[in-house]
Structure 1
Amino acid sequence: MTFKQIVWKMAKVHYKKYIFYFLCNSLAVMFFFMFMTVYFNDQIVQVKESESIKYLLTVPGVALVVFTVFFIGYAHSVFMKRRRNEFGLFMTIGMSGRDISKLLLLENGVIAFFSIISGILAGTIFSRLFFLLLMNSVGLQAVPFHLNSEMFMYSIIIFLIVFTIAVGQSLFLTLRQNVIHSLKSDKVTESIKLKSPLIGGLGLAILIGSIVGLYYTYSDPAISGDYLLLWAMATFMGLYISLHQFTSFFIAFAKKNKPFYYRRLLFLANLDYKFKQLTSILMLVTAMIMVTILYSTITLFTYMLTEKEAIDSNPYDMAYIQTENKNNLNSEELYSIVDQKENPINERLLIPIYSYYEKHPYQDWINVYNFMSVDHFNQLTSSQMELEDKEFLYYINDELENEGDEGDQGISFSFPNIKGEETYTLKETIAERNINNLPDLYDFIIVSNSEFEQLNNKIDGFESNLHLINVANWKQSSNTVEELTGSFKNYNEKTPPNADIRTEHYSEEQLFQVASKVQSYDRNKSSNGISFFVTTFLSIIFFLGSFFLLYINLFSDIDKEKDRIKKLNNIGITTKEVKKMISREITTLFFMPTILGTAIALLYIIAMATDIGGVMKNPEIILHFFIVAGIYHCIQVGFYLYARKKMFSYLTGV
């Protein structure tokens, strides 16, 4: 019998390990290809260029690369662990190191080839399915599913690089081992060199300290998320140390309660061994669960606030600036466009504004002074303010987060004046949003009616009218806004372009745009909807990845577990007791990373929410967290019950 025949016969007998290895590599290719169908989607690339979605994609992308490296490397190490005793046997019957190298390269080459084909095929099918389901669920039709060369190229290249490194490392280690060590490789137990409850406590302290540091960082608006990466690295370092020494830390306390400890001695000893051998995997799974729940919660919270953001940033359904030669439609033309029978105008305000632009003598910016009369201010804000000559109100068109941010009252201020400087006294500072987001209309100087009428003689500025319009149903005003914008564009093209200080920082199109609720809503819905879709898409990939990692953990050494169960049966431990012990171990390995990852995600959300006023001012974010975490845990329970049933079937035949 030739070497090839022997190898082929052994491969047929142990075909399950080849299928397992092939499926792991196919899954890795599938996960990465699914991510690439999102990352290189043409529509998402356009949004990515201008929105925060670039960061949203980059961080999970790096995490996915790390996961792929670890997943492929771990699957390969499990496969090779089962093969080393076979290689030792081949060496005893005369096979050389060169023959084993050829065999390894041939096997892995064939598996890699079919893994790429099956992974890309499965990735295409599931990506298409997820695109259809998720895009319909978030109401987006503007992101079509398509394939391009970059998706295939990056998926194949990254997989081959990781796969080649894993195979090369295994080949090097296999050829270095002698025959005896290879034959006994599946009989050797990995030693645990370090058991220190003190180090476990130190890891827990680092973990808690990183979250406390994150909280105080986000409490300071000046630095906010600048140190997020630093605290995240500290969190993962503390997490790794804590997981590695968790059972030693727990056992040290358990020993103080002798009855509790000795009733669970076998379970605790075996769990201690598994935790230390599987620290990297448990840490990776915990991190994936944490990132999945954290990102999903934040994105869901942002997506659900899409309408609120549009309303808050645009108090009126439509707003625009009109000057003598820009956006200057007469009332008849304006009403013919906006005042539709099915969606009529409910309210219209016209507020005269006088603006003075002053270029800073030493810096490259422009100071803008927007003047408004007190009567029009009262009309805008429904207030009853009164001003004497030489008094003014400072009005900020924004909701300030902290009281006292408006500035000091009772100060004097000298306005630019072509006849010299004229001093006015600040009576009060008011901060509330009443005007849509329009360029250079962030703050206003409110003066008496008589002073406002004299501004033309005092300051060389620009007159304009601020139009504020409400209609019956702003969500149905999209066509109206488009038509109004088109009419303004046609009108403005027929008038001379502005060539003054106002257009140095803003284009004419920006200065005379229509700021509307519906446009802001559609824009936010598109951006937040894509972010929500991307995060959900990545969460599904991360969830499946974390489950498969745990599943591989449980079943990679199933033969050793069978031997252990037989030995336990030989010393009198019943099948019922064995099932109870197995159930405890699986439950701990499945739900320890899940609970820990969920807890860390919750603490991160509480810390990061301080940047927007804290969770007490934004209770919806906690509600969204529990929704995401609840869904995640429900699905995890389903996978856990399946894995436990399979484990019982393999080990006890029940």
Structure 2
Amino acid sequence: MTFPQFVYKNVIRNKRTYAAYFLSSAFSVLIFFVYAMFIFHPDIKSGVTHALAVQMMIAAEIVMYVFSFLFVLYSVSTFLKSRKREFGILMMHGMTRNQLNKMVFLENMIIGIGSIILGIAVGLLTGKLFLMVGANVIGIDQLPFYLSKKALGLTIGAFFLLFLSISFFTTFIMKSNRLIDLFQAGQKPKKEPKVSVVLSLTSAVLLIVSYYLAATATMASLFIRMLPVIAMTIVGTYFFYTQLSVFISKLLKKSRLLFWKKTNLVTISNLAYRLKDNARMFFMVTIVSTVAFCAVGSLASTTVLTEQSQIEFPAEISYLAKDQQPIHKQNLVQIEEELTNNNISYTTNEIEIKFVEISSSSSQYTTEKIVALAFSDYKKIATEAGFEFKEEPLRGNEVLAMRQSTLETFRPVSYVLKQEQLNLKPQEMTEHVVFPFQLIQEDGVIVSDELYKQLEPITTELYTGFYTAEVENTNGMVENLVEEGLAIPSEERPWGLIVRGTINEKLLSMYRMMFFVALLVGAVFFLAAGSFLYFRLYADLDYDTRQYLTIKRIGLTDQELNKIVTTQLALLFFVPIAVAFVHSGFAFMALQSFYQLSIATEVFQVLIMFLVVQILYFFFIRYRYLRNLKKALI
């Protein structure tokens, strides 16, 4: 048998241990390859949406590649630690240090090249499906299958370099242990895990404070709190697994009713050791899973923004005329004709807007004029838009601040008009958005009808709103007047125009595309997290076998063995996922400050999807682990 043949058979004999690592690497290659096929497809040409899709996939490629490097590096280092006894036997039979390094190098390259071949092969088989789905998501014509040499070369080159670099690196990190240490690896009795009460309390405080800051975050404070909360959560999570969880497990031992109940004696006795041994792995799984949950959940929740657009844009088509030019009549006639030709039933209204000059204001921003609107006209806009209107009519000098976005918060600002030094001091903000901020960018107020009649404007503008229940049918209307559904007033353009159907479609297409990209990247992260659990579990199989064999000799039944293993595996699989769920839950509570509508349903669906996958994976691994364990106990 030649040396390469020996290395190859060595990999095949350890296929059980390498399975999750190999499949996770192949899946990363698959996603990288199909993204590259999309990026280099000749039919992906120009356009904002197309360019954004390509940019997002390039970003996803970079993120996945960096993550794959870290994943492979961690996996290889874990395998090396679990094979010390094997290395000792080989060195006892005459294998030199150089031959050992060469063997490890070749093993890594065999697995790496195999995962590249499998990932690209599956990518070629599923490439057409990916291109169909991707084209549908970004709203372009169906893309024919096209095998790009650039995509193929980039994938092979990038991952070959990745596995080659790590294979070289692992030969340098292998320490030259004594034979006695290699043979006794995994057989030495484990030391009692030590725990620090101070670090345990620090973990609890950091997590509680970070959760509180996330739960109470507002739109204004979110960006300020984001980095401190992330840092505290990461540090708190690390100490939770290395200190606090071990501290809690030791407290469980002191409860005689719980500790001495049936098989709890074995389960809880091993709990502190397993938590301490697997602390880093638990930490990595939790952080990786949290990133996956937050990425997919955040983008799934953005679909709410299309529903929220009805709040942001009260009218399906909004037109603002800044002067009396004839072009306004032409534009309005075109809008009406297109609505009629598309058989869209609609209603319309015209609202006069006054711009009044001010002499001073309490705002920190310098302004010379503000927008004023009569309360009856505001009510007309809200009623036509289908909003539930509950606000009481204004009387005398009562004033409301004009809301122009759902993200806007009330700022108590008072204005003194040049006209008779009238003092306008809003006490609260309108409940509904009045005009989209893209049309009217100045501050505004809603005043009583009596006061509105008394105001002497420096200029007036005319707002026309078109309202219909068939918002999706307005997509693509008046394309000669708007770009991507929006035309903002400027010095050259004396009018503004917003088509909500077009904006909705563009937003929905972008969100679907972002969700599609994030879902695949999240799947890579989640699969890698499962792989960490898998090969860590099988790395401890020999130790577990000796432990359960000893207990079985004193009367442990198969039913009790199943119960102990199931409990310990459940802790191994679901503790990090549960912590990741909690982290993600508070992250989504902070994200909710960006939305007026609830995102709870979308977030719940994403978390349930990941939980179902984890449960299925748990039962699959439990079946295989119990089968291998019982074979070893015979």
Normalised by the length of structure 2, the TM-score is 0.79
Q: Which amino acid aligns with 1:519?
A: T
* Structure 1, 121-130 or 68-77: larger mean CA deviation: 121-130
Structure 1 residues 44 and 89, CA gap change in structure 2 (3 angstroms)? farther
Distance in 2 separating the partners of 1:249 and 1:637: 27
Q: Contact between 1:43 and 1:142, CA under 8 Å: does it hold in 2?
A: no
Alignment of 1:396 with 2:395, yes or no, is no
Q: Contact between 1:199 and 1:245, CA under 8 Å: does it hold in 2?
A: yes
Structure 1 residues 38 and 226, CA gap change in structure 2 (3 angstroms)? farther
Structure 1 residues 243 and 550, CA gap change in structure 2 (3 angstroms)? same
Q: Who is 2:618 aligned against?
A: 640
Query: Which of 612, 616, 622 is residue 600 of structure 2 equivalent to?
Result: 622
Q: Who is 2:221 aligned against?
A: 223
Name stretches of at least 5 consecutive residues in structure 1 with no aligned partner.
416-421, 493-501
Structure 1 residues 126 and 103, CA gap change in structure 2 (3 angstroms)? same
Q: Which amino acid aligns with 2:564?
A: M
Q: Who is 2:386 aligned against?
A: none
Q: Who is 1:583 aligned against?
A: 566
* Structure 1, 588-597 or 571-580: larger mean CA deviation: 571-580
Distance in 2 separating the partners of 1:565 and 1:450: 89
Q: Which amino acid aligns with 1:469?
A: F
Structure 1 residues 344 and 608, CA gap change in structure 2 (3 angstroms)? closer
Query: Which of 472, 475, 479 is residue 478 of structure 1 equivalent to?
Result: 475
Distance in 1 separating the partners of 2:11 and 2:400: 81
- 1:590-636 Cα offsets, whole Å, 9 max, x none, are 111122221222233234435657xxxx5x33333332222322222
Name stretches of at least 5 consecutive residues in structure 2 with no aligned partner.
384-390
Q: Who is 2:12 aligned against?
A: 15
* Structure 1, 625-634 or 4-13: larger mean CA deviation: 4-13
Q: Contact between 1:346 and 1:470, CA under 8 Å: does it hold in 2?
A: yes
Distance in 2 separating the partners of 1:25 and 1:332: 63
Q: CA deviation at 1:516?
A: 1.8
Alignment of 1:239 with 2:251, yes or no, is no
SS of alignment partner, residue 482 of structure 1: coil
SS of alignment partner, residue 481 of structure 1: coil
Distance in 2 separating the partners of 1:610 and 1:386: 30
Q: Which amino acid aligns with 1:585?
A: Q
- 1:340-390 Cα offsets, whole Å, 9 max, x none, are 155355322233446589999xx99874544667886676567997999xx
Structure 1 residues 537 and 50, CA gap change in structure 2 (3 angstroms)? closer
Q: Which amino acid aligns with 1:637?
A: I
Q: Contact between 2:206 and 2:232, CA under 8 Å: does it hold in 1?
A: yes
Give the 5 Å matches for 1:305-454: 305-306=305-306, 308-322=307-321, 323-325=323-325, 327-330=327-330, 333-334=333-334, 337-340=337-340, 343-344=343-344, 346-353=346-353, 367-370=368-371, 380=381, 396-398=402-404, 405=411, 407-408=413-414, 412-414=416-418, 423-426=421-424, 431=430, 432-444=432-444
Q: CA deviation at 1:82?
A: 5.4
Q: Who is 1:214 aligned against?
A: 214
SS of alignment partner, residue 286 of structure 2: helix
Give the 5 Å matches for 1:53-72: 64=64, 67-72=67-72
Q: CA deviation at 1:512?
A: 3.0
- 1:213-261 Cα offsets, whole Å, 9 max, x none, are 3334x14x54322231221121121111111234532233223322422
Q: CA deviation at 1:646?
A: 0.9
SS of alignment partner, residue 600 of structure 2: helix
Q: Contact between 1:33 and 1:151, CA under 8 Å: does it hold in 2?
A: no
Distance in 1 separating the partners of 2:368 and 2:628: 76
Percent of aligned pairs with the same residue? 18
Q: Contact between 1:22 and 1:115, CA under 8 Å: does it hold in 2?
A: no
Give the 5 Å matches for 1:496-511: 506=490, 508=492
Q: Who is 1:294 aligned against?
A: 294
Q: CA deviation at 1:515?
A: 0.6
Q: Who is 1:112 aligned against?
A: 112
Q: Who is 1:497 aligned against?
A: none
Q: CA deviation at 1:324?
A: 4.0
SS of alignment partner, residue 433 of structure 1: coil
Q: CA deviation at 1:120?
A: 3.4
Q: Which amino acid aligns with 1:644?
A: R
* Structure 1, 563-572 or 439-448: larger mean CA deviation: 439-448
Q: CA deviation at 1:586?
A: 0.8
Distance in 1 separating the partners of 2:376 and 2:9: 91
Alignment of 1:649 with 2:632, yes or no, is no
Give the 5 Å matches for 1:130-279: 132=132, 140-141=139-140, 159=159, 163-164=163-164, 166-174=166-174, 176-185=176-185, 187-188=187-188, 194-196=194-196, 199-216=199-216, 218-219=217-218, 221-263=219-261, 264-279=264-279
Distance in 2 separating the partners of 1:341 and 1:171: 73
Q: CA deviation at 1:67?
A: 4.6
- 1:79-102 Cα offsets, whole Å, 9 max, x none, are 434554444444444443333333
Structure 1 residues 610 and 384, CA gap change in structure 2 (3 angstroms)? closer
Q: CA deviation at 1:644?
A: 1.0
Distance in 2 separating the partners of 1:332 and 1:93: 91
Structure 1 residues 386 and 444, CA gap change in structure 2 (3 angstroms)? same
Structure 1 residues 285 and 101, CA gap change in structure 2 (3 angstroms)? closer
Q: CA deviation at 1:330?
A: 4.2
- 1:461-504 Cα offsets, whole Å, 9 max, x none, are 5x643222224623212243336659x99xx9xxxxxxxxx98x
**Pair member with larger Rg:** 1
* Structure 1, 280-289 or 10-19: larger mean CA deviation: 10-19
- 1:106-136 Cα offsets, whole Å, 9 max, x none, are 3333433333232333356557646656876
Q: CA deviation at 1:585?
A: 0.9
Structure 1 residues 126 and 450, CA gap change in structure 2 (3 angstroms)? same
Distance in 1 separating the partners of 2:393 and 2:563: 76
- 1:513-568 Cα offsets, whole Å, 9 max, x none, are 42122122112212222232233223322332222222222223333333333232
Distance in 1 separating the partners of 2:392 and 2:326: 32
**How many pairs were matched up?**
606
Q: Contact between 2:213 and 2:225, CA under 8 Å: does it hold in 1?
A: no
> RMSD value over aligned CA atoms?
4.5
Distance in 1 separating the partners of 2:478 and 2:277: 63
